[in-house]
């Protein structure tokens, strides 16, 4: 499956300034792995040390928060769009 | 120094009082000239008087609208309902991720410790350091 990944400004530097890039995979985990292979360092702030999704990073599949779908195991389809944003949180 | 129109200030205070005792939160967008043009009130999914987190799907819609209109994110705001308007340890810890993505964004904190006298202050949180900037309500 080929999906489109929309990049927040700060991550675009890893991808030659592109706001949107393609990545391959059948799950979100595959897509992020593929993204990291293509653009080393790009998922550094997206995944936690144990390889899971970082608690304060929001990842969306077609505008839906993947935490409510299946997190990294969420299946992706051809032409889907993945978006990444830092969570805005505090106390 | 930052300037915020009194209309936006009023909007933030009204939201804070409406959601009291829980913390209120949202996003302030600026136009191409760098001046605030719109306040997006948001849902605190923590529904808590001690923490906040902007509803993720709402945040995506807000960020997209900001991009489509050619605006920029000027700042993120939230209220402290029982303490002064100064970044807490939780604010500093949780803002690290936002700062990693948006190094220049400001954080505004509305103190409703005294609900009859709300106080809004503005800060930058970089490398764990808190820097306050002068905020003028116009």
> What are the residue ranges spanned by the domains of chain A?
2-86
Interface check A48 vs B, CB under 8 A: no
* Cβ-defined contact of B27 to A88 (cutoff 8 Å): yes
User: Which of B52, B53, B100 has its CB closest to that of A45?
Assistant: B100
Dist CA B9 CA A86 (whole Å): 25
Across A4-8, average pLDDT = 94
Across A31-47, average pLDDT = 94
Q: What CATH number does the domain containing B68 carry? A: 3.40.140.10
For residue A30, what pLDDT is reported? 97
Domain range for residue B52?
Answer: 2-137
Task: Let me know if B138 is exposed, middle or buried by CB neighbors in 10 A (0-12, 13-18, 19+).
Answer: exposed
B16-54 pLDDT, tens digit each: 999 999 999 999 999 999 999 999 999 999 999 999 999
B81-127 pLDDT, tens digit each: 999 999 999 999 999 889 988 888 999 999 999 999 999 999 999 88
Q: How many CB atoms sit inside 10 A of residue B29's CB? A: 20
Interface check B53 vs A, CB under 8 A: yes
For residue B32, what pLDDT is reported? 96
Given a cut of 80, is residue B128 above it in pLDDT? no
The ipTM assigned to this model is 0.94
Across B63-92, average pLDDT = 96
CATH topology of domain A2-86: Ubiquitin-like (UB roll) (3.10.20)
For residue A51, what pLDDT is reported? 85
For residue A10, what pLDDT is reported? 83
Distance from CA of A81 to the nearest CA of B (A): 13
Cβ distance A49 to A77 under 8 Å?
A: no
For residue A33, what pLDDT is reported? 96
Interface check A40 vs B, CB under 8 A: no
- The total domain count for chain B is 1
Within 8 A of B53 by CB-CB distance, chain A residues are 87-89
For residue B100, what pLDDT is reported? 87
A43-67 pLDDT, tens digit each: 988 998 888 999 999 999 999 999 9
* Cβ-defined contact of B97 to A10 (cutoff 8 Å): no
CA A1 to chain CA centroid, Å, is: 15
């Amino acid at each position: 499956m080929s999906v489109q990944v929309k990049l927040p400004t700060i991550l675009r530097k890893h991808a030659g300034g592109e706001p949107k890039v393609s990545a391959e995979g059948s799950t979100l985990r595959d897509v992020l792995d593929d993204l990291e292979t293509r653009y080393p360092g790009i998922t550094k702030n997206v995944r936690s040390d144990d390889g899971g999704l970082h608690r304060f990073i929001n990842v969306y599949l077609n505008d839906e928060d993947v935490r409510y779908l299946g997190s990294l195991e969420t299946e992706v389809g051809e032409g889907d769009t993945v978006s990444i944003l830092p969570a805005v949180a505090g106390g | 120094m930052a300037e915020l129109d009194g209309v936006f200030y009023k909007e933030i205070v009204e939201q804070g009082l409406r959601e009291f005792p829980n913390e209120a939160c949202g996003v302030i967008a600026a136009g191409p000239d760098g001046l605030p043009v719109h306040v997006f009130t948001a849902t605190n999914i923590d529904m808590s008087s001690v923490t906040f987190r902007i509803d993720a799907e709402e945040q995506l819609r807000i960020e997209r609208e900001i991009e489509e209109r050619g605006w920029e994110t000027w700042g993120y705001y939230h209220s402290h309902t029982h303490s002064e308007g100064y970044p807490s340890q939780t604010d500093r810890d949780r803002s690290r991720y936002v700062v990693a993505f948006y190094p220049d964004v400001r954080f505004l904190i509305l103190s409703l410790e005294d609900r009859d006298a709300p106080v809004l202050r503005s800060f930058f949180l970089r490398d764990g350091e808190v820097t306050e900037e002068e905020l003028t309500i116009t």
